[in-house]
Amino acid sequence: MSTIQRTEPRIDPAIWWWLAAAVGVVIVPWHMQQDGMRISGIFALFAGDADAASALGQSLFHKRFWFWPVIAALVVALAAFRPGLDRRGRGNLLLITGLGGLLAVIAQGWFIGVRGWSYPFLESAFGDLDERQFGIGWGGAMAFAAFAALTTTALALRGLFGGDRFVAGCVGLLIASITLFTVWPVRVAWNTLMLGIATATTCTVLGLAFALVVTRTGFRLKKPLRLLTVLPIITPPFVIGLGLILIFGRSGLINQWVAALTGVELGRWIYGFDGVWLAQVFSFTPTAFLVLIGVVQGISPTMEEASQTLRADRMRTFTSVTLPLMRPGLTNAWLVVFVESLADFGNPILLGGSFGVLSTEIFFAVVGAQADFGRAGTLALILLIFALVAFMIQRAVLGRASYVSMSGKGDSGLPTPLPDSIRRTAYCIALPWAAMTIFVYVLALAGGFVKVWGRDWTPTLSHFGRAFALEWTANGILWTGGAWGSFFTTIQLAAIAAPITAAIGLLAAWVLSRQQFKGKTVLEFALMLTFCVPGTVIGVAYILTYNIPPVEITGTAIILIICFVFRNLPVGVRSGMAAMSQLDKSLDEASTTLRASTFRTLTAVVLPLLKPAIVTALIYSFVRAITTVSAVIFLVSAQYEMATVFIINRAINGDYGIAIAYSTALIALMMLAIGLIQLVVGERKIGRRTAAPDPTPQIAAPPAGARA
């Protein structure tokens, strides 16, 4: 039997796309022409007017340097068509040059406009740009389309889309069309995407640094550092934002200090992307830390010792064994923070200024004068698309690799000390951020202990008295403070919702990690949906759905508990899945072999090894139920007022003292609750020896009587 082999033609058809790119770069005017395309204007290489010249002509004769990357991509791409180059080699070269050409075309149009540099930071970095340029015309459009076609051809040559160039081209056409004419016009979508990527990446790095310091070093203040790490997650709304404004605002301490020393006014930089990003990093780093710490603790020291037995040094062990085993935690932490950033409402509404994101636009579409639910729904759909793409990328990064590091065998190894460079890097990242966190909180919470925040700094406890006043009467204690009602209601509802959220989340993680069934991927993504939809949308949707029969629960405590459970569910799911990825299935199989039921296996074998994930789910769900505001602001009633709504109303009325005093009391309460949760759940016991001490040399005191 003979087999039919696919043979590559002598001349690759992709050469025609390269020729199209060459025509767009060399011959045709790059920019749009006011009088249209003339026959005489087609040969624009030597045009005297820069705006009427081709890209090559502008770079050669008009000193427009920003076209050189486009020309370089075109020239290098020609090497992909040399004889003797195999299919995969041609695909690799075309992919690099095709993507490079696309990025070069996008960059020159994005960063340089009719007024020169499009962004102030570019003007500050490179100086004023005397040259200007108008919109992309036929030349730019031809080059863009041709480079895109070369990119999709390269993907097909590398085996994607079944190696079919036509299918790859169709997919590329659809993606480019949606990006250009659907996503790009919605500018807030780009703001949201850039903010989400920046926040998720920063928080994951910070969370990993804190997790390494807490679990793999001899740092003496581990417990205070761990408590400080989760402090932002237990902070009621607007406290972090107000602290940042006090420090970096136009009249903030840092701005006044810089102005006094240098005379430079830093201005209102805190209002916009920078301020929202900084506030989100403060807010969501604890989430990344809570997801990562259980994964870092769960890495088997036996594997690291085996690596060193094979003569690998500590750095090689960390990069080839430890870090790859952290990949489930890293990707899950990044995904959770990214989705949290998409749905964040409080930080953008306080610090966004003119920097709009999808969550705030959805809010204004719902509560504005027009009450445009259609626009709100469209913007919410874009949020879901972003979350879906991030979810798919996360699954692609993990792939089918195994990350098991705990099996039924004994595991009594010692965790390998971190390489010196990694340990120092973790310290340099975590400790300054911890100091910054303390500074922000001290300044922000000081408002609860002074008369008038920002003006009269006379110490006082009157705000606490107004919020939590007590009177002793003959009939017992009389709770006269204005905050007691919402305080007790919030504690009660959060205490009910937290264990339900943790139980459902970890059960879902077990089902998704251990069971195989059709539609599992759809179910996994569906569990993330409530996380990536802004809370305001959830609240409005709950009112519209549950305000009428057959399920009429608006205004009751039940709707608040349901909102808490399904709003906070994804963190329990993702942390549980990250922890489950480290557990060998042989543990389940051994239990089943001993005739234990599935329920018995889950409760007696799996759950004890998931204690870090249980702690994460309980802590997160409890504190988020107390600190959430956007999801419940439409659901509270006179009978069931939440603490965050009470705080927001006081802040809106300018009564910052009582708002911050209440926030301080809630922070103290949640710190106590975190300690109780960790005490009740306990730590995971996996039979390991005491962790290795920090290799940092210590100077011991000389014995008594010794000669100096």
Same domain? 63 vs 167: yes
Same domain? 125 vs 49: yes
For the record, the structure tokens of 632 come out as 């419940």
Same domain? 179 vs 197: no
With 50 as the cut, is the pLDDT of residue 465 above it?
yes
Q: Does 236 fall in a domain?
A: yes
Q: Does 387 fall in a domain?
A: yes
The neighbour count for residue 526, using CB atoms within 10 Å, is: 10
pLDDT bracket for residue 637 (50, 70, 90): confident
Residue with tokens 């301020």: 275
Quote the pLDDT of residue 697. Answer: 43
The neighbour count for residue 468, using CB atoms within 10 Å, is: 18
Name the burial class of residue 3, with classes exposed (0-12), middle (13-18) and buried (19+) by CB atoms within 10 angstroms of its CB.
Answer: exposed
State pLDDT tens for residues 666-704: 888 888 888 888 888 766 555 555 544 454 444 444 444
Same domain? 625 vs 607: yes
Domain ends where: 383, 412, 447? Answer: 447
Inter-CA distances, 52 with 36, 46, 55, 230, Å:
11, 9, 10, 59
Q: What is the CATH number of the domain that holds 484?
A: 1.10.3720.10
Same domain? 330 vs 314: yes
How big is the chain by its Cα radius of gyration, in Å?
30
- What SS3 state is found at 427? helix
Q: Does 700 fall in a domain?
A: no
Q: pTM of the predicted model, to two decimals? A: 0.65
- Residue pair 495/564 in contact by the 8 Å Cβ criterion: no
Same domain? 151 vs 203: no
Same domain? 204 vs 175: no
State pLDDT tens for residues 391-426: 777 777 665 554 444 444 545 556 677 888 888 999
Same domain? 472 vs 548: yes
pLDDT bracket for residue 199 (50, 70, 90): very high
Q: Does 413 fall in a domain?
A: no
What is the pairing mode between strands 450-452 and 456-459? antiparallel
Name the burial class of residue 68, with classes exposed (0-12), middle (13-18) and buried (19+) by CB atoms within 10 angstroms of its CB.
Answer: middle
Name the burial class of residue 168, with classes exposed (0-12), middle (13-18) and buried (19+) by CB atoms within 10 angstroms of its CB.
Answer: buried
Same domain? 496 vs 544: yes
Quote the pLDDT of residue 150. Answer: 92
Helix axes 535-546, 373-398, angle to 10 degrees: 120
Name the burial class of residue 558, with classes exposed (0-12), middle (13-18) and buried (19+) by CB atoms within 10 angstroms of its CB.
Answer: middle
Inter-CA distances, 375 with 79, 339, 345, 532, Å:
48, 21, 17, 17
Distance of CA 638 to the CA centre of its chain: 35
Inter-CA distances, 133 with 30, 41, 144, 358, Å:
10, 18, 17, 31
CA pseudo-torsion sign 91, 92, 94, 98? positive
The mean per-residue pLDDT over the stretch 600-622 comes to 79
- What SS3 state is found at 371? coil
For the record, the structure tokens of 346 come out as 């409080």
Residue with tokens 């995971």: 684
- Residue pair 571/621 in contact by the 8 Å Cβ criterion: yes
Quote the pLDDT of residue 45. Answer: 81
Same domain? 588 vs 481: yes
> Where in the sequence is the domain holding 383, given as residue range(s)?
188-401+423-447
How many domains does the chain divide into? 3
Cα separation of 424 and 615, whole Å? 28
State pLDDT tens for residues 255-283: 778 877 877 777 678 888 888 999 999 88
The mean per-residue pLDDT over the stretch 450-473 comes to 81
The neighbour count for residue 331, using CB atoms within 10 Å, is: 21
Dmax over CA atoms of the chain, in Å, equals 102
Domain ends where: 447, 482, 513? Answer: 447
Quote the pLDDT of residue 102. Answer: 92
The neighbour count for residue 150, using CB atoms within 10 Å, is: 27
Q: Does 3 fall in a domain?
A: no
Quote the pLDDT of residue 700. Answer: 44
Give the residue, 623 or 691, on which the prediction is more confident: 623
The neighbour count for residue 349, using CB atoms within 10 Å, is: 19
**DSSP β-bridge partners for residue 81:** none
Quote the pLDDT of residue 404. Answer: 47
